Structure 1
């Protein structure tokens, strides 16, 4: 095919990696995904090379790849050992290299509107990491790219990713919960402060840009964030889409903490709620470098609609979410908070 390029996605079966592979294949490129295949299959039009990049399980996970050069390699790992090994094996055969990093590399997350002038965390010295040092591990991966490629690579520090297929349950909590509340007629528990940041980038927009920018030879570091938004905008979009018109029960930060609700993500959290002053910049990041690099983002309503489809597939009333409250727990908390406020003579 005229104009077809060879694209290798290190991953390519999980969420963002799968979207990158799908966009590249849809554009007519020859796409190979190197992955274990446990998270799913390669998207239509892409070839899966099954390999485990763990040092203990596979002596040479790249041996099964075709002996060829690649127009673009897209790497998503957060394990420094994986990043180093991939660069050692493939960098000399890759015309362009894209590393998908994270805004978690920044050491100071308190600055609203902060950007690339913020200091970075120290790099993890171990080749393998756990989730407690995710940001430090991503810094180490970035450093490995710099050592192997110099300035000849694109490092995309992504913000929170949202959209259809989101495994984190974070952005999806609000549209899923509004849909469920519209069905059962109950109230919606929300933070009193909804003016804080809730910044996301749609997975489809990010994936399409990674492929396009990578093949175009863009280099340097880009903060691949979506537009700055507030939690109120996210909730309002969810309410509008689902037709939820019931009451909100507003809970102060103190109310939520007193009832053991955690911030942002995790079991028994209120998704995207961020009260800690040390994290007020996490979802209010400067997106100017993304815009300048050509990252085009769709309207919030489209991301919300795609996410609602995914939430319905998973089940609106499911329990044990990765982020958010179970509905029964939410209703109980809302009743207790509303009752306490009434007893105190508050609206």
Structure 2
């Protein structure tokens, strides 16, 4: 008798017909910074027993690639604080060319100097670095505990290792609204592209987010008075719209979750370090894969249930003294 091969699970498509081919995999909820717009100063993190092991995360990554995921981004928290990150990056990187097109990572660069060579060796070719200012005092204020020099050293190490670096800069009224032009000049001099992001109402923080929310059209206004911006047809798997800048080698990306909703083209699914799929960054509904994974349950069935429940769009709003859209912080979901 000829043994029958197990059926291949269907490709990932949500209830609105959107093809899902991009997994954002959070490897930890912990971070070595406490950025004011992202985290409370005194955070409560998950106990070790509640998080997936490196082996479990690699197993789930392989399952998602088998279902048609073509890009995986490692996120956190800060992914480079996770013990075993080298093992995970190497194992997922081995899938490149075997269903996976690309493995990337988002980092605050505090530990990038020590990990840049490892990332390049694992198959990572480009990374995103969160960097909101080039002013050392403002950097310390925004991050509460960070040192700008450490971040810049990490970026330099990544460039030496052959990694392409894109800077992610959150637009923050009264904190860095005068920093766009210096950041663009620095990116041009250091071979980096730049993406600007509106702050999002996720998790309780000490300050009122409305005090620092700034729509990107306003943040970019000083640049438009000096140089023309030209839309370009570039896709990297995420929600950014890209522009060429007159007389600059820098490609500028804009991510506008509040002022210009981008959900119609959503191709992403987020898996937290607890093993939960959150169907939307701005919603609390989730499906938990951890128990099924550990007890050999129907993981693919749960993934299909999550996709069927994926909403058409988030409902982000930032108003004076408003509550966050969801109680969990970005670090608990995966940036």
Q: Which has the higher contact order (CA 8 A, sep 6+)?
A: 2
Structure whose alpha-carbon radius of gyration is higher: 1
Fold in common (TM above 0.5): no
TM value normalised by structure 1: 0.34
